[in-house]
Structure 1
């Protein structure tokens, strides 16, 4: 059975997201895969702009994975102070780079199973990295994707892993990688956690949460 047919109006919803937010996300400043992984680690609870502003200086001071692995947490922290939770991120970045240098010869693993063994790398970070670095399809479920996919009726899993599995069954594979940044943008501007701006939303006609409110 066609995945599109499983969710009413899914094609219209995906077309609207493509037209509104685009199909490709501008990548973080980086030259090597370990730098991309670090950038994604720093992006948690921070904006892409905040992260991109610190990366040139960070990689200028520590141009190799071995050098950043040998740096102190304080030295790394000095370069990423404007990024949220910079102290804990500095600790994770150092530990992660030490693992890459000592256990993987400076190369970044290419599977989720190996990536999540790295310090500070969870399933969300691993999936994003594989998508951005190698184009490997995967659905990344953060708070925005979880919230909006449930509101739209695409999924009803109780946790991010269940929701990820549901979305991979529902969404066409060519939409997996881009659904994350599209719903992040939509969640920050329109479908916010505190109070959704339904009157401004191009998806309101198909939103299950909106329909439930009308029927109540």
Structure 2
């Protein structure tokens, strides 16, 4: 009986060690690549996705062009995010990585947001950025912030709210890699005040300690 109990405890310990790793990032590929296709026609089912027959793969399945070009940052927040994920490069399927280019106008920002499936590492290519992230409730909602110049690098842990703001006198550019083929993005203001249908204003008024009329005004904007 003692040996059985010991074996059971050993199994539980092993699961405790391996389970967090199993949910930490995208699944590891079981072959060289798995080029995602939108239809099962002529596809091979691998790792939960229909994939192109590897014999039919071409270099274009792993290629994207144009990140050297500036994008207009003329929206309300003054930034433009160009994503290069599995939707742009089918060959990224199962590889657990993607890329973005972010253009910031003067006083522009990439507003507070989260990536539910990815850690992000960002490098400044042009300009000066104020960046930061906020820890979860259990860690006291601490703010980690830094001013970055050309060549500086900063990491935003998976799932945490983070931001970048251009504090220089000219346009800024950054590139970031993310640890998911499709990291997702939740922009806090858009999600809370721009949901469809709208969240009950009284709920948001209590959550943000605001007047319900002010909440409705914010919902009208978003």
State TM-score, norm by structure 1. Answer: 0.26
State TM-score, norm by structure 2. Answer: 0.26
The structure number with the bigger radius of gyration is 2
Indicate the structure with greater strand content. 2
Indicate the structure with greater helix content. 1
